[in-house]
Amino acid sequence: MDTFVIRGGNRLHGTLTVNGSKNAALKAFAAALLTSQPVRLSNVPEVEDVARIIEMLRKLGVVVRRLRQGTYSVIARHIEHGNLDPDTAKRIRASIVLTGPLLARTGAVSFPYPGGCVIGKRPIDVFEAGYRAFGARLHERKGMFHVAAKRLIGTTFFFGTVSVTGTETLMMTAVLAEGTTVLKNCACEPDVEELSKFLNACGAKISGAGSPTITIHGVRRLSGGSYSVMPDRIEAGTFLILAAATGNRLTVDRCIPGHLDSVLDVLRKMGVRFRAQKNSLTVIPPKRLTAVSVKTREYPGFPTDLQAPVCVLQTQAEGRSLIHETIYEGRLYWTEELKRMGADVRLFDPHRLEIQGPTALRGRDIESPDIRAGMAFIIAALCTRGTSTINDAYQIDRGYERIEERLKAVGASIRRVRN
Ligand code: EPU
């Protein structure tokens, strides 16, 4: 496992460019399964989770070619079977989004309980109920789920829990189902709307994506198409927070400011100012940050994926703040390690954390538990005056492409040690 060695305290300056969205790219690869014709995907971030999805597609007989950095051709002309490779599928949660399109194309899928970040229970009951609503049969044996349907019939389905991958997966399942599907209480993340636009460009009939109710009129087949992955709003938010936490004026380029309203709102309340252009934001940090409490919510609320970075930011702000993590029940435990760096944090229960700031953080040897907490540790390490070692760089590589090179380019002292 690679390790990052970071020496904090450098002045950072310049521009950080935002890559394509990891989570949107993963769903675009899944969508390519819905058509037998070629699909071309560009602005794909070269991150480990994308590599895992590609591995899984290839094991299904799908031809995936890397045309150049960030551009892929995917041809799912013949799908050999609907069995997801259990070893890879267990490693990333997004493996489950393959199951809807696969079911629609092959009539039968099997998959293990999907893995991913250790951030909470992450059940799949929404998917099970959804597939049943389309008329599929489902059973579990020896840790594998088996879903089968000769025909998928359009349905009306209410999401008891708002789920991003659930919404995307059932939306994709409905595209080739017979008749009309109405999905209610859907996730409204921009990722969902993007996916619907791509599918519609390939001939799907989806309306309402990005709102709580999505209507899908089933079609017999989709054509091929091309899609350039939208900028990653989580990566953009991470970079904005990094600039604010380290007190540096940095420009975050190739982002969509309209996707970052909740993040900009919190940062502004903390005293950060921005110079905004169409696709870029320059962070103008204040002399002193003011503590502001944050509650994670579904979009357009404050994203759970930025909870860890913003917590590091709170340690640098003056006063007491609370973080209320409402999406996951296991996503605050990483702060135990942050405490070892000197943070004054107190966990009230699995959902609520108190932070007292500002604190001078100390360099440490830290384990990276998941993508976002790993990135938060990088920010924390950059805030210190010492040296930190972040083990298990793979976790960060899952979601952030060549992060050390990009941070080095703005003046950070960070290097990768290959073990
Ligand atoms: N949930 C259920 N049952 C289900 C599905 C979800 O109870 O069948 C619960 C989850 O346990 C969680 C809540 O619903 O408490 C919301 O989870 P959601 O399904 O929306 O999460 P997800 O779709 O699995 C995606 C992102 C996550 C991001 C969440 C929330 C992908 C591949 N992953 O996960 O991203 O945290 O939405 O925005 O799109 C990351 O990129 O680091 C990451 C974890």
Where is mean pLDDT largest: 107-116, 119-128, 193-202? 193-202
276 exposure class (CB count in 10 Å sphere: 0-12, 13-18, 19+): exposed
- Exposure letters 143-178 (e unless 16+ CB within 10 A, then b): eebbbbbeebebbebebeebbbbbbbbbbbbbbbbe
Q: What is the pLDDT of residue 119?
A: 57
Residue nearest to atom 20 of ligand 1 (CA): 163
User: How many A from CA of 162 to the centre of ligand 1?
Assistant: 9
Q: CA 386: distance to chain centroid?
A: 30
**Rounded distance, CA 93 to CA 165, Å?**
9
Distance 37 CA to ligand 1 centre (A): 30
Question: Mean pLDDT score of the chain, rounded to an integer?
Answer: 96
Predicted TM-score (pTM) of this structure: 0.97
Across 248-394, the runs of DSSP E, i.e. the strands, are: 250-253, 273-277, 280-284, 289-290, 294-295, 317-324, 344-349, 352-357, 365-367, 387-391
| pLDDT confidence tier of residue 118, bands split at 50, 70 and 90 | low
How high is the pLDDT of residue 315?
98
Q: 342 C-alpha vs ligand 1 centroid, how far in Å? A: 30
**pLDDT grade for 114, boundaries at 50, 70 and 90:** confident
Instruction: Locate the ligand 1 atom nearest the alpha carbon of residue 26 and give its number.
Output: 32
Active site residue 188: no
Say how far apart CA 383 and CA 159 lie, in whole Å. Answer: 41
* Catalytic, out of 117, 188, 311, 383: 117
Model confidence at 53: pLDDT above 80? yes
Task: Tell me the sheet residues that pair with 215.
Answer: 182, 207
Q: Whose CA is nearest to atom 29 of ligand 1?
A: 164
Pocket lined around ligand 1, Cβ cut-off 6 Å: 23, 26, 93-94, 117, 120-127, 161, 163-166, 187, 303-305, 327-328, 371-372, 399
Q: Which helix (H) or strand (E) holds 102?
A: helix 99-106
- pLDDT value of residue 214: 98
Of how many residues is the chain composed?
A: 419
